[in-house]
Amino acid sequence: MTSTLARQLAVAAQAHWPTTLALFVFAVALWAQTGALVGVFYDDGIYVTLAKALAQGEGYRSIHLPDAPWAVHYPPLYPVVLSVLWRVWPDFPANVVLFQLFDALALGSAAWIIAVHGRRSRLAGPALALALVAGFTAFPLLTIVGVPFSEPLFLLLFASAVSLADRERLGARGAMAAGLLAGLAMLTRSIGLAALIGIPISLWLRGGRKSASLAAAAGVLVIVPWIVWLSIHGGDIDPRIAANYGTYGQFAGQAGLRGMLTGLDLGALAPIQRLLLPGGPWVLNAVLTLGLAAVLVLGAVTLVPRLPALLSSLVPYLVIVTVWPYTPDRFVWILLPWIAVVGATGAARAWRWGWHARLVPIVIGIAVLVWYVPREVRSLAGRGFALTAERTSMPFRLLTTAIVSGTPDDAVVATDGEALVHLYTGRHTVPLDLYTVDGRDFESSGPRVTAAYFCEHGVSHVAASVSGSGVRHILEPLGAVRESTLVELFRVTDGPQLSQFRCPN
Amino acid sequence: MPQLTRARAAWLAAAAAAAVYALSLRNGWAGDDMVAIRDNPAAHSVRAALNAWFDPYWPENFRWAGLYRPFTVLTYGVDWTLSGGATWWFHAVNVGLHALVTGLVVLVAAAWLPVLGALGAGLLFAVHPVHVEAVANTVGRAELLVAAGLVLALLAARRYRRAGSRRQRAAWLTVTIGAVAFAIFSKEQGVVAIALIALDHAFDRERSTHDSVSLYAGVAVLTIAWLFVWRGIAGAYVAGAGHTALAYLTPAERVTTMLPAYLEALRLLAWPFSLASDYSPQVIPVRLTLSWVGALGLASSAASLTLGVLLVKRVPVVAFAIFFAAVTYFPTSNLLFASGVVVAERNLYLAILLPALLLGWGLAVSGGKQYRRAVLVGAGVVLLAFGYRSVERIPFWRDAQTPIAEERAAHPENFQTRVVLGRQLAALGDSSWALAELLVAGALLPTDPGAAVIATHHAATQGRRFLALREARRAYDLLSDDPVIVKQLAAAYAELGALDSARAVLTRGVDAMPFSAELLEQYRLALSATNAPRWRQLLGGAQRAWVVGDLVRAAAQLDTLAADVPSVFTVADDCAAVRRAVGIVRALKPELARSLEARGAASDPRCALDPKSLSQ
């Protein structure tokens, strides 16, 4: 009886380790959730504000801004999902629990799909499982999983699309489903475009021209409404806030070609190197970086025939991350489970080539063991991955409570976390720091442009979660426009501050 | 005579359950019914119940209990909508649910026992007197629902393991997970579903047609997700709001207190003639060290589990029953965490499967033996006696007063009953008797400050100011870091005109709980009442404004007081007040903090502010 169950469990553990992994990742993702305020990483606040707008029947608008413009920067799928959950439980911030639960479910499901798909890599089961556990519990990934970001849903859709496309017998329906999922991935994060490019290419290279066309058509069909939406409403965004609220086209237009060309320094891959390898003398650093790159490239080359859709999607993904003038880290962390699989595959391949080749993975392994593993252990033991979000929350907790008690309901607040402040205070908000993009640099718009924007939008208060150097470049010039422009209501040393704003004219 | 089949046995046992409990339809609201149903707006319509789906089970003032049972509340909403709040309907639904669970228990038992044995098990489950609290008292609904969900999940999981086609598997998987969801959203005890399914799987003699990974994964995901949502809703109270008697104990002391309770639980399964609606001290006293009765409880619990292990192969039905009872009792055993009860008969609802299956097994093994007749007669006597005791016990729950009055008569040593009676009497306007009961409660459990807090209130209401002070002092000595208790003691002193003592108590309270807004407000009022200098009142006001997050007001008050601070402090209290608030002053007005520090140093070297407090 009991031995039968034990035997069944042992067999099940071998045959069904992806399910065990998925459960583990689901539980870890729930454990990784922080008590931080929604909006501490900016985008999370915007997603939830958009969800609130949809749930309240106000349309896909940035309702925290006084003129509530149509949203064109963030693709809509994740806010739509959150809006359904918001309708189920309309009590914010209590309902964040549901958002967190959804994210954890999405990540756990993604883990299962990646594990099942990863079996095609022909890595030994324990090695693949270990690589995926390492990837899914990596502290940078847990940091972004701990707040309502669209990454878990994106990973689920992206992984579903490529794993479906990598099936050996893929009929017309399968190809269309893969394209559809890739399109949904793009509706979650715009970089899902990589799958929309990669999947048809991989199918084409496998000789399935019809499948490739069907996948591409299905994917394009899914994103067409969003493209139409962008073409209609894209121009409505005030150029002074276009860097944050405009379309990616507007952003690229501001950045110019220089922004793209400068990105070709391959800095996009630096987060992996910085995460896994120690610093030190440049020679050592260069040798280790080359070794790591060799292992990853070898792994990628090995996997091309086994996981063609995945690799042909990851390549455009990394190309976009490389040239696009954004900080690449967040885009890379969500790929860590796959990067771990690629690395493990490369190491396994090198191992089979004899002791000379084995030296490379051994040295990289030692470097990772010495540098990365202790940091990872410390982070997991002390929940270090959550510290950034929780520390950023602290001044906002003071600030939002102070805004609620110290400003009228119809106040319009210019602040550095406009979505967060709106969510927790109900006040209309505008961004405090107006800037444009030039190349890969951000240029502040200057006090007169800022003051004019504030006056046009009825700003009555200026709030910053930090005082000192973080906002001095904005507030001091703004206060200097005219003596009574900013009247300080309070300022916490090294903490938040709130001032009354009066139009200079 | 028609042949006795499993289905007929299930119907027979269910009918017996319904017949025994039919009398409960005459009961009204009793015990916790008033708070949880009668006076709870969420329980008065389906829409209200759905709107409250993500709220804790108890209404606003009782949320410290940390419970989350939205499906149970929904059933109340349905009942109220259908009956307009008629109590007989609520009781009828409870009786129906008990009959349903009884029928399902027969089906569970039938996996090991012949039909007659399963029927015997079902009949004992139907009439066991321990069930009266769960069935005849409306709020026992949660026990009935969770039991129905768990037993249904267990049976559905069996069908899943035997399902041949993919479609059948999907159907039984859905039913199993649905039943677990039903259980888990009815009562927290539903988290044991995965353990019960695994237990039944381990004892299952029939071969499975496939593995059960999907089933366990599905139940595990549901359970983990529910635990996460529960934590989000009940917050800090999850598994933290222990029974009053257990609340202030260390884990070791909690276990030494609970060991005799395990003996009591075993006694209730076997000999349920002496019943109580509450087993608070001194019915089961707090024991801070291992006692002989505790050792006996430990030995009997260990012996039961050992017996279960020894019987796994020889008498699997009995082993299964022992482990089943242990698993279902575990969440309220106070072993790993403190729960809301020491022992409650309603929490033993599913554990009754142990004596039920024992009886069924006894009937089964006696088949064809010479002593068959004796066993049948014995079983009949037990069933009749249990049934009689149940029927006799049902009116105990007929209204709000009876359980308290009868319990006080039966267990005068129960402190909790005295507290509840005191509250009821106070609500009825008999403040003197209420006070007497509360004073006795305080004497019965001198380590609990709760009775003293309520007694203080009633003594003050009756103008018995010295008694109020004595009780407030007693509560304060037991728990000085509770704002309510500090406020009460200060108020008691103030009533006697000892304003300085009141201020001293509040000052100590503010020092101990610098983030309690209500205490800071009381402190500010005390400063005003004792004519403290204006700048001190402003400082107190700024402290309070900071704590409630009104930083604009805090900054404005500090600006005002800056012009009002004397150049030298004259009393030690001034220094202490500045020291207390200097962290806030430094955060908002660093220059003012420096100025205060300089004045403190100029006043008296002992008044110099602690650099550590400045850096806070």
Sign of the CA dihedral running A44, A46, A49, A55: negative
List, in order, residues 6 or more apart from B100 with CB less than 8 Å away: B14, B148
Rg (chain A; Cα; Å): 24
Asked whether the beta carbons of A183 and A219 are under 8 A apart, the reply is yes
Q: A21-39 pLDDT, tens per residue?
A: 999 999 999 999 999 999 9
3-state secondary structure (DSSP) of residue A97: helix
Asked whether the beta carbons of B225 and A105 are under 8 A apart, the reply is yes
Cis peptide before A273 (omega within 30 of 0): no
- Cβ within 8 Å, pair A101-B225: yes
User: Measured between beta carbons, which residues in chain B are less than 8 angstroms from residue A100?
Assistant: 228, 232
Q: Hey, which residues 539-568 in chain B have their CB within 8 Å of chain A?
A: 548-555
Average pLDDT over residues B527-543: 91
Crossing angle of helices B87-109 and B6-21, in 10° steps, is 150
* Residue of B21 and A480 predicted with greater confidence: B21
Average pLDDT over residues B243-250: 78
How far is Cα B335 from Cα B368, in angstroms, rounded to an integer?
44
How far is Cα A181 from Cα A155, in angstroms, rounded to an integer?
11
* β-bridge pairing A461-464 and A412-415: parallel
Asked whether the beta carbons of B243 and B280 are under 8 A apart, the reply is yes
CB contact, 8 Å: A406 with chain B? yes
How far is Cα B568 from Cα A322, in angstroms, rounded to an integer?
65
How far is Cα A324 from Cα A255, in angstroms, rounded to an integer?
9
CA distances from A140 to A83, A114, B288 (A): 27, 19, 47
List, in order, residues 6 or more apart from A292 with CB less than 8 Å away: A272, A273, A276, A277, A343, A364
Q: Does the pLDDT value for residue B613 go beyond 50?
A: no
DSSP B237: G
- Cβ within 8 Å, pair B221-A108: yes
Alpha-carbon dihedral A371, A373, A379, A382, rounded to 10 degrees? -110
Going by C-alpha positions, the residue among B190, B584, B209 that lies closest to residue A493 is: B584
- % of chain B residues with pLDDT over 70: 96
* β-bridge pairing A497-501 and A486-491: antiparallel
- % of chain A residues with pLDDT over 90: 75
Kindly report the average pLDDT of chain B as a whole number: 92
How far is Cα B573 from Cα B593, in angstroms, rounded to an integer?
17
List, in order, residues 6 or more apart from A86 with CB less than 8 Å away: A51, A52, A54, A55, A92, A95
CB contact, 8 Å: A385 with chain B? no
- Cβ within 8 Å, pair A5-B202: yes
Asked whether the beta carbons of B345 and B133 are under 8 A apart, the reply is yes
Asked whether the beta carbons of A174 and A208 are under 8 A apart, the reply is no
β-bridge mates for residue A412, sequence order: A428
- Cβ within 8 Å, pair B202-A2: yes
User: Measured between beta carbons, which residues in chain B are less than 8 angstroms from residue A495?
Assistant: 587
pLDDT score at A466: 86
Q: What angle do CA B528, B531, B534 make, to 5 degrees?
A: 70
Q: A286-315 pLDDT, tens per residue?
A: 999 999 999 999 999 999 999 999 999 999
Tokens representing B30?
A: 């009793």
Q: B45-58 pLDDT, tens per residue?
A: 999 999 999 999 99
Residue that is written with structure tokens 């909006």 in the block? A39
Residue B250, Cα to own-chain centre: how many angstroms?
Answer: 18
Average pLDDT over residues B79-96: 98
pLDDT score at A324: 84
Amino acid at B599: R
Average pLDDT over residues A338-367: 94
Q: B562-577 pLDDT, tens per residue?
A: 888 877 776 777 888 8
CB contact, 8 Å: B205 with chain A? yes
Average pLDDT over residues A426-430: 98
Alpha-helical regions (H) of A426-482: 447-456, 469-481
Q: Does the pLDDT value for residue B37 go beyond 50?
A: yes
Helix (H) or strand (E) holding A488: strand A486-491
Sign of the CA dihedral running A468, A469, A471, A477: positive
Q: Does the pLDDT value for residue B614 go beyond 70?
A: no
Tokens representing B581?
A: 């608030």
Residue B576's φ and ψ, nearest 5 degrees, are: -60, -40
Going by C-alpha positions, the residue among A272, A368, A288 that lies closest to residue A322 is: A272
Asked whether the beta carbons of B354 and B266 are under 8 A apart, the reply is no
Sign of the CA dihedral running B281, B287, B290, B292: negative
Count CB atoms within 10 A of the CB of residue B365: 15
CA count, 13 A, side-chain hemisphere, B339: 17
Average pLDDT over residues B52-81: 91
- Cβ within 8 Å, pair A30-B53: no
DSSP A499: E
pLDDT score at B64: 73
Q: What is the distance between the terminal CA atoms of chain B, rounded to a whole angstrom? A: 86
Residue A250's φ and ψ, nearest 5 degrees, are: -60, -40
3-state secondary structure (DSSP) of residue A414: strand
Amino acid at A377: V
pLDDT band at A441 (very low <50, low <70, confident <90, very high): confident
How far is Cα A333 from Cα A141, in angstroms, rounded to an integer?
5
Average pLDDT over residues B303-325: 96
Tokens representing A410?
A: 């119809």
Average pLDDT over residues A216-222: 97
Shortest Cα–Cα distance, A36 to chain B (Å): 13
ipTM above 0.95, yes or no: no
3-state secondary structure (DSSP) of residue A91: coil
- Cβ within 8 Å, pair B217-A22: yes
pLDDT score at B543: 93
Asked whether the beta carbons of A41 and A32 are under 8 A apart, the reply is no
Across the interface, which of A16, A94, A100 has its CB nearest the CB of B213?
A: A16
- % of chain B residues with pLDDT over 90: 78
pLDDT band at A482 (very low <50, low <70, confident <90, very high): confident
- Cβ within 8 Å, pair A104-B228: yes
Ranges A406-415, B19-28, B239-248, B562-571: which has the least confidence: B239-248
Shortest Cα–Cα distance, A197 to chain B (Å): 34
CB contact, 8 Å: B270 with chain A? no
Asked whether the beta carbons of A425 and A479 are under 8 A apart, the reply is no
- Cβ within 8 Å, pair A1-B204: yes
Across the interface, which of B202, B214, B225 has its CB nearest the CB of A1?
A: B202
Q: B364-413 pLDDT, tens per residue?
A: 999 888 899 999 999 999 999 999 999 999 999 999 999 999 999 999 99
* Residue of A169 and A67 predicted with greater confidence: A67
- Cβ within 8 Å, pair A98-B213: no
Residue A164, Cα to own-chain centre: how many angstroms?
Answer: 23
Residue A446's φ and ψ, nearest 5 degrees, are: 90, 155
pLDDT score at A366: 95
Q: A251-284 pLDDT, tens per residue?
A: 888 888 777 777 776 676 788 999 999 888 889 9
Across the interface, which of B213, B232, B549 has its CB nearest the CB of A401?
A: B549
- Cβ within 8 Å, pair B552-A94: no
Count CB atoms within 10 A of the CB of residue B93: 19
Average pLDDT over residues B146-153: 98
* Residue of B430 and B238 predicted with greater confidence: B430
Average pLDDT over residues A401-414: 96
Asked whether the beta carbons of B110 and B153 are under 8 A apart, the reply is no
Average pLDDT over residues B485-506: 95
β-bridge mates for residue A444, sequence order: A435
List, in order, residues 6 or more apart from A328 with CB less than 8 Å away: A267, A268, A269, A270, A271, A321, A322
pLDDT band at B615 (very low <50, low <70, confident <90, very high): very low
pLDDT score at B616: 36
* β-bridge pairing A435-438 and A441-444: antiparallel
